[in-house]
């Protein structure tokens, strides 16, 4: 395969402008501050949380996702407790919203939190969603490989894929399930642990 063909199969997502991104909030939780500039997307967390979503043009098969950036500060918990009740915060969750068969029922359409309704709305007409598959940044390397279906929603599956270096930098590549992807769903959380930190995403690539 030629270099040109390889480049054509890699999608570098825009991080310098908010034009293509949607910033969501959770009811009753302070929102993060999200900034965009020529260094990338910066998420300031102050005992806060909230997703940042980029909808793709249509269901797209993604082979790998690569993320690079820097974390300043940390989540106030331990590797052993992170993810447990009262410590369910991660500095970064990089989520792929996968297409699937699940559609909202009557009660979900009326009473589900706004983020759940928005998640289902990402699916094209007549289609549904499968999972949001998250690749998480843990506290240290001992957590890599930890995974679970989230206890609050069976829509959410997550795995710790990397940890920052001593200087806070991270650069990781994760292989996906191969399911068609509807959107990118980024989360940074500090509300559960009362944490304050900043995460800057400098590069976010999707390989098809």
Q: What is the CATH number of the domain that holds 16?
A: 2.60.120
Tens-place pLDDT, residues 16-38: 999 999 999 888 999 999 999 99
Tens-place pLDDT, residues 75-100: 999 999 999 999 999 999 999 999 88
In a domain, 33, yes or no: yes
Please state the domain count of the chain: 1
Which residues, 6+ apart, have CB-to-CB distance to 45 below 8 Å?
A: 32, 91, 188, 189, 190, 195, 196, 197, 198, 199
In a domain, 126, yes or no: yes
When pLDDT is cut at 50, 70 and 90, the band that residue 107 belongs to is: low
In a domain, 31, yes or no: yes
In a domain, 72, yes or no: yes
Token pair recorded at residue 131:
């999972």
Tens-place pLDDT, residues 140-189: 999 999 999 999 888 899 999 999 999 999 999 999 988 899 999 999 99
Tens-place pLDDT, residues 1-17: 333 333 446 788 889 99
Note down the domain range covering 187.
11-207
In a domain, 4, yes or no: no
pTM comes to 0.89
In a domain, 134, yes or no: yes
In a domain, 5, yes or no: no
Token pair recorded at residue 48:
């806060």
């Amino acid at each position: 395969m030629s270099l040109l063909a390889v480049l054509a199969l890699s999608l570098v997502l825009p991080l310098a402008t908010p034009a293509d991104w949607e910033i969501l909030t959770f009811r009753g939780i302070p929102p993060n501050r999200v900034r965009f500039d020529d260094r990338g997307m910066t998420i300031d967390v102050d005992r806060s949380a909230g997703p940042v979503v980029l909808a793709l043009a249509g269901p797209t098969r993604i082979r790998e996702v690569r993320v690079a950036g820097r974390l300043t500060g940390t989540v106030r918990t331990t590797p052993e407790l992170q993810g447990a009740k009262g410590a369910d915060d991660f500095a970064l969750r990089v989520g792929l919203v996968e297409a699937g068969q699940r559609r909202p029922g009557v009660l979900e359409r009326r009473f589900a939190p706004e983020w759940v309704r928005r998640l289902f709305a990402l699916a094209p007409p007549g289609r549904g969603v499968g999972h949001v598959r998250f690749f998480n940044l843990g506290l240290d390397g001992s957590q890599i490989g930890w995974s679970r279906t989230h206890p609050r929603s069976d829509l959410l599956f997550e795995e710790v894929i990397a940890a920052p270096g001593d200087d806070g930098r991270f650069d990781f590549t994760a292989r996906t399930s191969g399911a068609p992807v509807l959107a990118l769903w980024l989360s940074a959380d500090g509300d559960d642990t009362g944490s304050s930190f900043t995460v800057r995403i400098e590069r976010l690539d999707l390989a098809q």
